[in-house]
Structure formats: C-alpha cells, structure tokens
C-alpha cells in the first residue's frame, strides 16, 4: 500500500503544472488511508482542473476587444470649398466619407485641405476641417 502511494505521489509530482486528469483524481479518491489520500490530492498542482473541464471550456475564453481608433488624419484630395447634405469627401488615404447630418457650409477655397475624422464617445464620426470650427457628421462609405 505504501509503495503504491509513493509511486502515485511520484507520478503526480512529475506532472508539474500540467492539468490534472480524471484518472489522477480518481486514483486519489480510491485511496482508503486518509493521510495517503490527502497527500495524493496535495500532489495535484494548484489550480489544476480535470482535463474534461479544460475540454468543456475550450473556445469560450474571453478575448478583450481592441479599442477602436479615436481619430484619423488625412487631406481632402483636390479643391475644397465647403459641403452640403450628402456631400462625398475622398481622402488622400483612399477612404470616402459622406455627410449624413444634412448640414452645409461655404468656406474659402482650399486645395488638399487637412482634415481629421474624430469618433466621439458614442461612436459618431465628425469631419474636422483645419481652419474652421464647423464639423459635419459623416459616415464612411468606402
């Protein structure tokens, strides 16, 4: 009996941080001597779970969502002198944005106007144009 317990403890000790499997837990459960049984359970690595539990939770791990970018900077390609409802803006980075709030503005003509698309805390996007305080609400279309 002592030889069997010692052998079992040695085998469990070599498992290191590996997850305990059902067989190891059942082996401890089958020991009748209280001290040997306790020593058997103590030899199972702390935090170990039966292999069946590891299989059951596989793929359910929670991945932290990535924080979306709060803004991007680019330029409006070509001449720019304002916007109206549904105006499309093509940026130098290839993105196309559309005015979606029905606003309009007439501005002094500029070539390749520097802009910044900003996401507010609710996820709404606004086009900030350098040199003006007007910022139409926009949505990316391409």
- Extract the tokens encoding 56: 């059951």
Give the pLDDT confidence score for residue 18 in this predicted structure: 46
Mean pLDDT by 10 residues, the chain (142 residues): 55 48 79 88 70 66 80 95 96 96 94 96 94 94 94
Residue 8 lies in a domain: yes
Q: Which of 134, 129, 81, 133 is nearest to 103 (CA)?
A: 134
Within this chain, do residues 125 and 101 fall inside the same structural domain, yes or no?
yes
Global pTM reads 0.55
Q: Do 75 and 129 reside in the same domain of the chain?
A: yes
Structural domains counted in the chain: 2
Q: Is residue 66 part of a domain?
A: no
In a domain, 79, yes or no: yes
Run of H or E including 89: strand 88-90
Q: In terms of domains, do 33 and 80 share one?
A: no
- At residue 10, the pLDDT reads 55
Cα(6)–Cα(36) distance, rounded to whole angstroms? 9
């Amino acid at each position: 009996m002592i030889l069997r317990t010692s052998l079992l403890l040695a085998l469990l000790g070599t498992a290191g941080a590996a997850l305990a499997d059902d067989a190891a837990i059942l082996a401890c459960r089958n020991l009748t001597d209280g001290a040997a049984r306790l020593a058997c359970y103590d030899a199972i690595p702390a935090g170990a779970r039966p292999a069946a539990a590891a299989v059951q939770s596989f793929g359910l791990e929670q991945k932290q969502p990535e924080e979306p970018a709060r803004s991007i900077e680019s330029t409006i390609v070509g001449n720019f002198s304002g916007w109206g409802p549904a105006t499309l803006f093509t940026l130098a980075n290839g993105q196309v944005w559309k005015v979606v709030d029905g606003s309009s503005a007439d501005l002094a003509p500029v070539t390749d106007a520097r802009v910044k698309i900003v996401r507010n805390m609710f996820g709404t996007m606004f086009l900030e144009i350098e040199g003006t305080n007007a910022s139409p609400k926009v949505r990316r279309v391409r």
